[in-house]
Amino acid sequence: MPDHEGARRARRPAPAAVLLALIPLTAMCLMVPLWDRIDPMPLGLPFNLFWLICWIVLTPLLMWGAYRIEARRHRPDGTDP
Amino acid sequence: MSAAATALATIVAIVAIGTTVGFVAGARVRMDLEQWTVGGRGFGVVLVFLLMAGEVYTTFAFLGASGWAYSRGGPTLYVLAYLTLAYVVSFFVLPQLWEVGRRHGLQTQADFFRVRYGNRWLAGFVCIVGIASFVPYLQLQITGIGIIASVASYGDIGRTPAMAVAVALLVAFVFASGVRAVAWVSVVKDALMVFAALAIGIGVPLIHFGGIAPMFAALVHTHSAHLTMPGATPNLGHGWFISTVLLTSLGFYMWPHAFGAAFTARSADTLRRNAVVMPLYTLTLAFIFFAGFAAVLIVPGLGNGDLAMLTVVRQSFPAWFLGVVGGAGALTAMVPASIFILTAATLFAKNLYRPLFAPQMSDPQVARLARAMVVVIGLISLTLAIYSSTTLVSLLLTGYAGVTQFFPGVVLGLYSRRVTAPAVFAGMIVGVVTAVSLMLSHHDPLFGVSAGFLALCVNFLVTISTMLLTRRPT
């Protein structure tokens, strides 16, 4: 069977962008046994809730970095060169 | 006016305003199939943001997440992690998908599978799994509306009539306006929901405990085990958390409607920017959790945790405010529900019925069939909502176990040239069968790991090994 037109491969993301994305994944998901506890209670919140809220705020910062890296590799209208 | 009448009148007013905004938005644009389903592919950052937020923050977030915080405790934190990480995943999937969509004029998820793999049976199978996964998600929204009506009326209005009225309204709304209307109603809905979440999350602990910190201090004192995993459950520990967060964050954009929303964007860059900012929206949910946890101390012993948030609002605030929260909640159910119905109906008509059974159908005929399906799907979900009694979170996780099985086919399809239709088809069938049989035999979670996630792993293994075995000689 010939390749379909749709089989054109998308451009792989920059390794640096992927690395940035792996940080929140590790912190919010894989590290759960380390942060799933009540004490200490910063701002009076249980530690697990506090930790997740922190990462909700930190993730856009990291992904903004990933965006800067990716945006440089694409045309301003977002299409691949 | 009695408290119930005040609350209900407020809810009706809010729903009326919200739907009017939608009708007005829809009336300005002539509706062909492309306009009805992907809004003419011209949405910028703001409209895409609204559309995506509109479909993400459903009754699940509003009542279901607080309900689990109340009844299950710690495990409910998975919601904060998965919503944030879903956007991180989307950063690497949606822009690439948008490219393919623009090149081939794709409107739906099944279109993607047909164009990428050139196999209409695979595309048909994707439709069936997609539509089937929508049913519990729709049922969730309709159940939510029933809960709102019965709590806000202080039990005067039964859930069934409330749900029936909501479905009728929903069908009329989708019928008249399509995706653009939905994006604009989201404006009303999101503003109200953020306001309600902040007011409840700050207000409830303040009224009863003097603040959020004293509330948690009291909770730690009496219910410390409730706040960590596995909370009030026997088997939802860290293994469940990790597997469920992975399942749902990978599956988030595999929902056919979320997939389709990517095609409404004006550019791939729009989607990348969106992925960066969207996690902040998850903060709203933290406040909803505050209310859910506070309810543990304020209204203990509720049989159905999904009632917790509204019950605590009813005990803490005046009736008109219960109405505002109920109205926000009702729109929060109706906006996503209309997107789900719209997507499921389009999938059925355009990607299942026409290609497999009636290839001679014209576009206007497909549009008519899609509209008829809106009614049918609405009625099926209503019937299920009337006769079932699972928690809102369980309904959502059931749907996720289905749609996440698309992930290998989508990601390998985008990034690998070698993956073939038989490999993806085999993996998907094995994945769906594994998920369904584990869940029907009540083995979710299995050994403390989410059944849907196990199915996804099996799916990946089968896809990749089939791909390697059937490789063409180079």
Q: Nearest-CA distance from B277 to chain A in Å?
A: 6
Condensed to tens digits (0 to 9), the pLDDT of residues B292-319 reads 999 999 998 888 888 899 999 999 999 9
CB contact under 8 A, A53 and B286: yes
The pLDDT of B325-340, averaged and rounded, is 85
To the question of domain B3-405 being in CATH 1.20.1730.10, the answer is yes
CB contact under 8 A, A43 and B74: no
| Residue from B62, B68, B71 nearest B325 by CA | B62
In this prediction the pTM is 0.86
Tell me if residue B12 falls in helix, strand or coil: helix
| CB-CB neighbors (< 8 A) of A7 in chain B | 116, 417
pLDDT greater than 70 at residue B467: yes
Nearest chain B Cα to A44, which residue?
Answer: B213
The pLDDT of A49-77, averaged and rounded, is 88
CB B273 within 8 A of CB B50: no
Weakest-pLDDT range from A42-46, B318-322, B385-389: B385-389
**Average of per-residue pLDDT values in chain A:** 83
CA dist B470 and B464 (Å) reads 10
| Residue from B250, B248, B260, B268 nearest B339 by CA | B260
pLDDT greater than 60 at residue B235: yes
Neighbour-count burial for B282-304, b at 16+ CB within 10 Å, e otherwise: bbbbbbbbbbbbbbbbbbeebee
pLDDT greater than 60 at residue B254: yes
The pLDDT of B162-169, averaged and rounded, is 84
Q: Nearest-CA distance from A30 to chain B in Å?
A: 6
pLDDT at B407: 92
Q: In terms of pLDDT, which residue wins out, B14 or B440?
A: B14
| CB-CB neighbors (< 8 A) of B228 in chain A | 36-38, 46, 48
Q: Nearest-CA distance from A51 to chain B in Å?
A: 10
pLDDT greater than 70 at residue B186: yes
Main-chain phi, psi angles of A80, to 5 degrees: -75, 140
pLDDT greater than 50 at residue A1: no
pLDDT greater than 80 at residue B203: yes
pLDDT greater than 90 at residue A25: yes
pLDDT greater than 70 at residue B38: no
CA dist A21 and A2 (Å) reads 35
Q: Which amino acid is at B272?
A: R
The pLDDT of B250-265, averaged and rounded, is 84
pLDDT at B181: 66
Determine the Cα angle at B420 with ends B419 and B422, to 5°. 135
Domain edges within chain A: 42-73
Mutate to test the interface with B, among A22, A49, A77 (most CBs of B within 10 A): A49
The pLDDT of B458-474, averaged and rounded, is 83
CB contact under 8 A, B99 and A52: no
The pLDDT of B42-55, averaged and rounded, is 64
Instruction: Give the one of B80, B213, B269 whose C-beta lies nearest to A71's C-beta.
Output: B269
CA atoms within 13 A on the CB side of B41: 15
| CB-CB neighbors (< 8 A) of B236 in chain A | none
CB contact under 8 A, B92 and A18: yes
CA atoms within 13 A on the CB side of B343: 36
pLDDT at B27: 58
